[in-house]
Amino acid sequence: MNAPIRSYCRFGLAWVVISAAFIGCTTTNQPEIKPAMGEPKFTGLVIEQGPGSLGAEPRKEPVTCLILHHTAGSLPSSLEILQGKDPKHKVGVHYVVTDEPKPRVIRMVPENMSAYHAGKSAWGKLINLNQNSIGIEIINYDGNVYPYSDAQADIIFALCEEIIRRHDIKPWNVLAHSDIAVGRKVDPGSKFPWAKLASLGIGAWPLSNEVADNLKKKRDLTPGRVRSLLTAYGYALETGEAGLKLGVEAFQRHFRSAKVDGLIDQETVAILEALLRRYQPKAYREAAFNP
Ligand SMILES: [Zn+2]
């Protein structure tokens, strides 16, 4: 056992059972989101208390967003870094999901504290989202290359559902780090199981029939219009062609993972418009028809 694990164990293994009862609870305040694939296999959530982190401060704003990350490092090194002991790299996160055959959830920062996981970031009207969010780091060296296991997806689902329910986080505010730090971050990557989670009621996803309907008619791919649509959905883009390309790439990484190239195409815009129509209809009307 190496040093980081030893220091981790010194904090003791205080097991906190959140509750198994939340599974199957309905999301009656979000009637548009219904589980489409039946009940998840996961039937309980146990959160293990891990080492604390110096990368945190008192929370001053309500939690409205849930941000997902990959660690790009092993469990021991990630637990070490996320303790935020390096003053030049003061980071922290609320939860770590391990990559073991039976993945665990480790708590590092309590939710009533703001953790330093988002960095320079923006989404909609929010900037620097640490204060507005809860962060989950998932052990994966690169979620654009290595898939997440079904066991990880199950426990991520259980953890997200519990957090979303308690804080009433809206589907469009369940986000990738790459969504809120466009051009700067690429995690949790294109292999992250967004579609599976959305089918179980976690996060935003377009209705497939709306995407198909949109594709029946050629979409307007004018760069200015696509920029307006992305901005209406929440993306904060740098100016110019390069800024737009990075925005399209971030969007594809989340919602069109089969092809992440930053190029505007019919399918990307069809998905974007279906999402806007579903979750931001007013902003969609304004952006789509008055770009
Ligand atoms: Zn990240």
All structural domains of the chain with their residue ranges: 3-199, 208-289
140-157: average pLDDT:
96
Judged by average pLDDT, the poorest of 32-36, 128-132, 220-224, 261-265 is 32-36
Ligand 1 centroid – CA 170 distance (Å): 20
Name the catalytic one among 32, 39, 100, 137. 137
- Which tens digit of pLDDT belongs to each residue from 190-247? 999 999 999 999 999 999 999 999 999 999 999 999 999 999 999 999 999 999 999 9
Average confidence score pLDDT of the chain: 86
Ligand 1 centroid – CA 271 distance (Å): 24
Ligand 1 centroid – CA 195 distance (Å): 20
Q: What pTM, to 2 d.p., does this model score?
A: 0.85
- Which tens digit of pLDDT belongs to each residue from 70-115? 999 999 999 999 999 998 889 999 999 999 999 999 999 999 999 9
CATH number given to 3-199? 3.40.80.10
- Name the residues around ion ligand 1, CB cutoff 5 A: 69, 177, 187
CA separation for the pair 130, 39 (Å, rounded): 32
Ligand 1 centroid – CA 188 distance (Å): 7
CATH architecture of 208-289: Orthogonal Bundle (1.10)
More confident residue, 46 or 138: 138
Position 291 scores a pLDDT of 52
Per-residue b/e over 26-42, b at no fewer than 16 CB within 10 Å? ebeeeeebeeeeeebeb
Judge whether 137 counts as a catalytic residue: yes
Domain 208-289 in the same topology as domain 3-199? no
**What beta strand segments (E) does the chain contain?**
15-17, 46-49, 56-58, 65-70, 95-97, 105-107, 113-115, 122-123, 126-127, 133-138, 174-176
